[in-house]
């Protein structure tokens, strides 16, 4: 029996989301969907840059009504916080945050949809899936420090090298869902 799927368009989601709050300025796609993994089980991670306070509950209601695979992160200056589970990531500034997450701008209030964004505009989700939202590591990234403390890295170096080797091999063979799963092992 075929699983029921629903097709979504990021341009439509951007328009609908921007319509519920005029303070939303920019939207950025990041995470596995940013790289066109095409996994129907993967959530859709979006940074929501805004100019004034937005109630997280209002954005959560949008997710429940429009697409439960959405995981929207409200950005305040240099910190992104999930409206679903309150996980966060913080960087020295907004530019570093975008670079760290490898996020791509796909919508701006002033210009609308960024048609030059190299992202998968259409995506599918399965109706039978209860989506688990991304849990960012709740860390503050200092541009002068490593993401992994040196002592922890040295203690786990062989394990990390093994997993990275597996990820690279899976990527070379086009097994992108495998890559995403292995990345989550970290």
Domains and CATH numbers, the chain: 5-126 (3.30.460.10), 136-185 (no CATH)
Tens of pLDDT, residue by residue over 129-144, are 665 555 555 555 555 5
The rounded Cα 48 to chain-centroid distance in angstroms is 11
Number of CB atoms found within 10 A of residue 50's CB:
17
Q: Which residues of the chain have pLDDT under 70?
A: 1-2, 38, 129-160, 170-171, 174-186
Could you tell me the two tokens for 16? 């609908």
Parallel, antiparallel or unpaired: strands 88-90 and 139-140:
parallel
Terminal-residue alpha carbon distance, the chain: 35
Three-state secondary-structure class, residue 140: strand
Tens of pLDDT, residue by residue over 157-166, are 666 677 777 7
Three-state secondary-structure class, residue 87: coil
Entry pTM:
0.71
Number of CB atoms found within 10 A of residue 121's CB:
16
The percent of residues in the chain predicted with pLDDT above 70, rounded, is 72
| Residue recorded with tokens 């089980």 | 41
Please name the helix (run of DSSP H) or strand (run of DSSP E) that holds residue 158, with its range, or none. Answer: helix 150-172
Could you tell me the two tokens for 54? 């937005």
CA distances from 70 to 81, 124, 148 (A): 14, 12, 28
**Size (the chain), residues:** 186
Query: What is the pLDDT, as a whole number, of residue 47?
Result: 97
């Amino acid at each position: 029996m075929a699983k029921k799927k629903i097709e979504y368009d990021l341009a439509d989601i951007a328009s609908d989301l921007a319509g519920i709050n005029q303070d939303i300025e920019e939207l950025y796609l990041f995470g596995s969907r940013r790289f066109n993994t095409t996994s129907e089980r993967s959530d859709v991670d979006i940074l929501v840059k805004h100019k004034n306070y937005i109630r997280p509950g209002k954005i959560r209601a949008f997710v429940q009504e429009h697409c439960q695979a959405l995981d929207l992160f409200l950005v305040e200056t240099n910190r992104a916080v999930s409206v679903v589970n309150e996980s966060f990531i913080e960087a020295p500034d907004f530019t570093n945050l975008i670079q760290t997450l490898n996020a791509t701008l796909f919508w701006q209030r002033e210009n609308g949809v960024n048609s030059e964004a190299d992202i998968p505009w259409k995506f599918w989700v399965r109706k039978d899936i209860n989506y688990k939202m991304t849990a960012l590591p709740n860390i503050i990234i200092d541009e002068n420090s490593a993401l992994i403390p040196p002592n922890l890295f040295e203690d786990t170096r062989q394990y990390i090298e093994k997993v990275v080797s597996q990820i690279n091999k899976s990527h070379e063979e086009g097994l992108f869902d495998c890559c995403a799963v292995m990345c989550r092992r970290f």
